[in-house]
Amino acid sequence: MKRVLEGSQAVAEAVRLSRVAVISAYPITPQTHIVETLSDFCAQGKMNARFLRVESEHSALASLIGAATTGVRAFTATSGQGLALMHEVLHWTSGARLPIVMAEVNRALAPGWNIWIDQTDSLAQRDTGWIQFYCESGQEVLDTVIQSYRLGEEVNMPVMVVLDAFFLSHTYEPVDVPEQEEVDRFLPPFVPKFKADPAAPCAFGPLVPPAAYMEMRHSMAQAMEEALRCYPAMEEAFEGLFGRRYGMVEAVHCEGSDIVLVTTGTVTSTCRQVLEELRGKGEKVGLLKLRMFRPFPTDEIRRHLGGAKKVAVIDRNFSFGASGIFAQEIRAALCNEPGHPPVFGFVAGIGGRDVTADTLKGIYEHVKAKESPDRESVWVGLQEVRNEA
Amino acid sequence: MIEIRFHGRGGQGTVVASILMSKAFYRAGWQVQSFPFFGVERRGAPVEAYLRLDEKPILLRTNVYTPDHVLVQDSTLLHSIDVTRGLKPGGWILLNSPGTPENVERYAGFRLAWIDAGRLAARHGLGTRTHPIVNTTMIGAFARVLEIPPMEAIEEAISEEVFIKTGKNIESARDAYREVQKVGLIRKAGTG
């Protein structure tokens, strides 16, 4: 049934429908309505889950590692500074091969204190071994949480579902909330490949010497490649039941376009409208939405961007001393392709600054007017800063 | 696309008003998107919320800069805030006001309507006499002013969302729908 839901509530509905058994969260800022809604569901008996209210984000994930080790579905949500505090345990989750799912609301990191959208928090966790999806709408976050349990459990890797602060987390829009029976058909009860039995407790001393550690890591690398292979069949099954499909990436008019804009998150949605307008005026412009960031869908990206004359990547994040992070990755994906298009990098919307239709049109005009990028990143819409002596 | 801005103070249910309105419009067949001003809410401080309406799915995910209409839940805001900021010419301004608003010339070029929502809400026991909760009353009046959505959709949205004094909230919204005063287009002084 379609209901008008907040992005955060859409996440919570998906967690309920996924029949998650344990939820652990730290409820204070920068937390969102996701766990507030889930705690309501648990209190009202709408969900048969154990809700753990812990003392920090680090403990939230650590407690889920305990829960997931016993072979149950587990969920947490966090944001910005909270995710930064989890960092150590993120590595632990993937290393222990636990398919925990987390909703991550992109918020800027301090100082200065800023609770608005900025992707650097989740992108700083790029190398922790979590699958990452960047979502565009309330419907997409709901669907992606459900998909994430199936995909993560298939390859025994944790999944982070990422959504923009406010522009998605606090925005109400119509969302189709599927029936429990439908979701059960897509996502049967979790049958773990291994688990610890609390009735027969034992201790692990996971000291892994050089003779085995490298193979463990290689197995994780293989699991990520497996996730790329499993993804199409997972989405096929999802589309069969729910009629919706997103792709690891989504190419909109990329074929035959001179310039392709690469976007993530809610900027994609605004960009769709800009694309309609520009194409209506005869401009040869396409859009590539990057949805799955880890594992990185290199082949798909090469296929859709290889034919463009120019590529423009819009980053709502920055790696200091380098460039926008998505731009780095797109460049790396293309660099071994003969005759690949130049990649223009744009940094926009940092710390909640709005990325409007005009911002995107400005980026398009900039790229159209130049043969090749004259620097790695162009910061869009910067205001003049006066240093009064 | 129609864009609406809601003005109020933290604790007055301004964000809830925008959500109720979005649910009512959705029931009436519109595509909707509503969100609060992205910031940190404090009780008593000015707050804003927004609503987008369209016949087709709404792709734009940016702030609202040039609303078509505005709703003002608290007339004390008029001293400190320009509620006409970015408002499109001819747009409706619905004020919560105990009587015909003063200095209407400042709304020249816009259409004005007012409702004594505080009195109606207090009469129905919504909030307290000094701090009535006027959000449901205001959206009842707004539905009449905009002529959309149908009042039944407003009532259904209140039934779905408001769990305390649901019936009284609906009654107050209905009263406001009947009693709202449309002043209409305010002309510039001297232009007749």
Which residues of chain B neighbour A79 with C-beta distances below 8 Å? none
A225-262 pLDDT, tens digit each = 999 999 999 999 999 999 999 999 999 999 999 999 99
pLDDT band at B134 (very low <50, low <70, confident <90, very high): very high
The residue ranges of every structural domain in chain A are 2-242, 250-379
Q: In order of start, what are the domains of chain B with their CATH numbers? A: 2-185 (3.40.920.10)
Q: What is the three-class DSSP state of A383? A: coil
Q: How far apart are the first and last CA of chain B?
A: 32
CB contact under 8 A, A174 and B38: no
pLDDT in tens, A46-100: 999 999 999 999 999 999 999 999 999 999 999 999 999 999 999 999 999 999 9
Average pLDDT, chain A: 96
Does B183 lie at the interface with A, CB-CB under 8 angstroms? Answer: no
Q: Give yes or no for residue B190 having a pLDDT over 90.
A: no
Strand extents, DSSP E, chain A: 2-6, 22-25, 50-53, 74-79, 101-106, 131-134, 159-164, 172-176, 249-252, 259-263, 285-290, 292-294, 310-315, 343-347, 378-379
Distance from CA of B104 to the nearest CA of A (A): 33
Contact A134, A289 (CB under 8 A): no
ipTM of predicted complex? 0.95
pLDDT digit string, tens, across residues A24-38: 999 988 899 999 999
Contact call for A172 and B31, based on CB within 8 A: no
A171/B33 touch (CB, cutoff 8 Å), yes or no: yes
Task: Say what the pLDDT of residue B191 is.
Answer: 56
CB contact under 8 A, B62 and A166: no
Name every chain A residue with its beta carbon within 8 A of the beta carbon of B60.
Answer: 269-270, 273, 357
Each residue's pLDDT tens digit, A110-169: 999 999 999 999 999 999 999 999 999 999 999 999 999 999 999 999 999 999 999 999
- For A203, list phi and psi in degrees, rounded to 5: -110, 140
- CB A248, CB A272: distance < 8 Å: no
Q: Confidence class of residue B60 from pLDDT cuts 50, 70 and 90? A: very high
Chain A neighbors of B32, CB-CB under 8 A: 4, 172-174
pLDDT score of A205 more than 70: no
Question: Residue A313 corresponds to which amino acid?
Answer: V
- Indicate the pLDDT class of residue A384, thresholds 50, 70 and 90: confident
| B34 touches A: beta carbon within 8 Å | yes
Interface membership of B185 toward A (CB under 8 Å): no
Confirm or reject contact between B52 and chain A (CB < 8 A).
no
Task: Judge whether residue A389 has pLDDT over 70.
Answer: no
B187 contacts: CB under 8 Å, gap ≥ 6: B108
Taking 80 as the threshold, does the pLDDT of residue A18 lie above it?
yes
3.40.50.920, 3.30.1540.10, 3.40.50.1000, 3.40.50.150: CATH of A250-379: 3.40.50.920
Q: What does the pLDDT look like over B86-132, one tens digit per residue?
A: 999 999 999 999 999 988 999 999 999 999 999 999 999 999 888 89
**pLDDT reading at B40 higher than 90:** no
Give the tokens for residue B77: 């805001």
CB atoms within 10 A of CB A213: 12
pLDDT at A2 over 90: yes
Instruction: Decide if A2-242 and A250-379 have a common fold.
Output: yes
Instruction: Collapse the DSSP code of A101 into the 3-class scheme (helix H, G, I; strand E, B; otherwise coil) and give the result.
Output: strand
Closest Cα in chain A to B20:
A4
- Is the CATH number 3.40.50.970 carried by domain A2-242? yes
Indicate the pairing of strand A259-263 with strand A285-290.
Answer: parallel
- CA A99 – CA A103 distance, rounded (Å): 13
